[in-house]
Amino acid sequence: MAGVDRSLVANVPVFAGLAPEQIDQLLQEAQSVRYAKGTNVFQQDEGAHSFFVLLHGRLRVFKLTPDGQQVVVRFVTPGEVFGIAMAIGRATYPATAHAVVDSIALVWPSAAWPRLAATYPGLAVNTLQTVGSRLQDAHTRVVEMSTEEVERRVAHALLRLARQSGRGIEAGIEIDFPITRQDVAEMTGTTLHTVSRVLSAWESQGLVEGGRQRIILRDPHKLFLLAEGSPG
Amino acid sequence: MAGVDRSLVANVPVFAGLAPEQIDQLLQEAQSVRYAKGTNVFQQDEGAHSFFVLLHGRLRVFKLTPDGQQVVVRFVTPGEVFGIAMAIGRATYPATAHAVVDSIALVWPSAAWPRLAATYPGLAVNTLQTVGSRLQDAHTRVVEMSTEEVERRVAHALLRLARQSGRGIEAGIEIDFPITRQDVAEMTGTTLHTVSRVLSAWESQGLVEGGRQRIILRDPHKLFLLAEGSPG
DNA sequence: GACGCTCTTTGCCCCGGCGCAAACAGGGCC
DNA sequence: GGCCCTGTTTGCGCCGGGGCAAAGAGCGTC
């Protein structure tokens, strides 16, 4: 698409190591699409027609269970590929991607993937690494859910969010997109109520500062100790 | 290595679509190694020197937490690649692979991976699909642990084991390798005691049949209904 | 054939965290 | 400025399932 400049994707890991001309060629096949806050980029179980690279914004990726419960898979930050169901051999999207703020993504038709992967071998290798690190993350999550009590899981989740989407402010580190207690609950396998209680307790100890769809880590180090299981 | 015949890997998905000559070339670079029951193929945090394809046997892959708890990541069955830490950008193995029965694997040096992936593009594509389906599995597990109570999780785990390693016998489906209640607990995020209680209850209803390191599913369909959340 | 190791079962108690319910508060919108 | 919608807090009671403890049972070994 005209108007998508190479500099926009200079730091996109999935394009790492590709020659500038190759990146230009890839970009020529992409569309740049805007998704308004509150809309879905794609929905679970719908045909995996496209894959994407997020340029701006924040997406919440979640799975819906048959009985209507949501589980947050991850939040997508700019520079990440997403929606690569086709590349991993799925015909449909395994989850829904929802824009939590106004977002812009590059969009390629999934049908182009086999050709692109064959033409630019680095693309498949990079994608393999991306998927691999998501696999690591998922396993980490399984281990946490198997062995840690709720408080530690919430601490881990907040630290991860801060690392991925933290904005340093004088009061500490603020998660830089609107996130609810419910979201945190769905990331950690607990309930809205329990998350609220945990955060309230932490707030009274000065570890965090809350607000509507807002979380600030006032004392990341103490949270880290909590996450690692230090008593108290 | 001499003596490794192409027919041994005819049904290995990671080699799917490769030309017979290419498979022969790959096999020439591999060693065939035997691992006695009870030994480790590799250990968590050790340098990822090799990657593998399992030819015979069964491996239990698990992660060890800092405080000594184990979490089973998966069981490896013949035909699967494993230990591909290097391919997904890790310098060390993220888990330990333990032979639960005498096992044989093809072994390649990890250092050869970049060259192999570049030489045989199909290899990277197939590996991407493999890693992708493991990612799916891991997410499924996260969803189950987030939304299902223990009994359903155990039912799901047994059905998965039966599909992957089930031997049909007149009494039902038997898991065809030695597996302990502790293993099932570590797969489902619960305790040995709770798994034992659940299986005892099911045995008294005729759903399963137990034994030392032995589980037989007598009524897979009822178990399936249980796993899907049907009451009773 | 007896011993010992590992795996399994079961009883009992307790508690982390969930469910329910109700009150409370930002903040967007008219 | 007031209303309403959505998100948050908090109290209370209960219970699934974990912890602890101890007894029982395959199975390999000498």
Q: How many CA atoms lie within 13 A of A220 on its CB side?
A: 19
CA–CA separation, B96 vs B134, rounded Å? Answer: 17
Per the CB < 8 Å rule, is B121 touching A118? Answer: yes
Long-range contacts of A60-68 (CB under 8 A, 24+ apart): A60/A97, A60/A98, A60/A100, A60/A183, A61/A95, A61/A96, A61/A97, A61/A98, A62/A95, A62/A96, A62/A98, A62/A186, A63/A94, A63/A95, A63/A96, A63/B139, A63/B143, A64/A96, A65/B143, A65/B147, A66/B228, A66/B229, A67/B147, A67/B229
Distance B36 CA to D29 C1' (A): 19
pLDDT score of B167 = 94
CA–CA separation, A161 vs A91, rounded Å? Answer: 30
User: Among A128, A129, A136, whose Cβ lies nearest the Cβ of B94?
Assistant: A136
Describe the crossing of helices B220-227 and B150-165 by its angle, rounded to 10 degrees.
130
Chain A residues 181-200, Cβ below 7 A from strand D = 181-182, 192-193, 196-197, 199-200
What's the pLDDT tens digit per position in B73-100? 999 999 999 999 999 999 999 999 999 9
For the record, the structure tokens of B157 come out as 């785990």
Per the CB < 8 Å rule, is A138 touching B133? Answer: no
What residues in chain B have per-residue pLDDT under 70?
Answer: 1-4, 231-232
Strand C–CB B210 distance below 7 A: yes
Are B112 and B51 a contacting pair, CB within 8 Å?
Answer: no
- B-chain CB neighbours of A118 within 8 Å are 121
Q: Work out whether strand B70-76 and strand A172-175 pair parallel, antiparallel, or are unpaired.
A: unpaired
Are B37 and B98 a contacting pair, CB within 8 Å?
Answer: no
pLDDT score of A229 = 87
pLDDT score of A10 = 81
List, in order of start, the domains of chain B with CATH numbers.
6-134 (2.60.120.10), 148-227 (2.60.120.10)
pLDDT score of B116 = 95
> Please, what are the averages of pLDDT over each run of 10 residues along chain A (232 residues)?
70 92 94 95 98 97 96 97 97 97 97 94 93 98 98 98 94 96 98 98 96 96 94 62
Q: Distance of alpha carbon B17 from its chain centroid, rounded?
A: 23
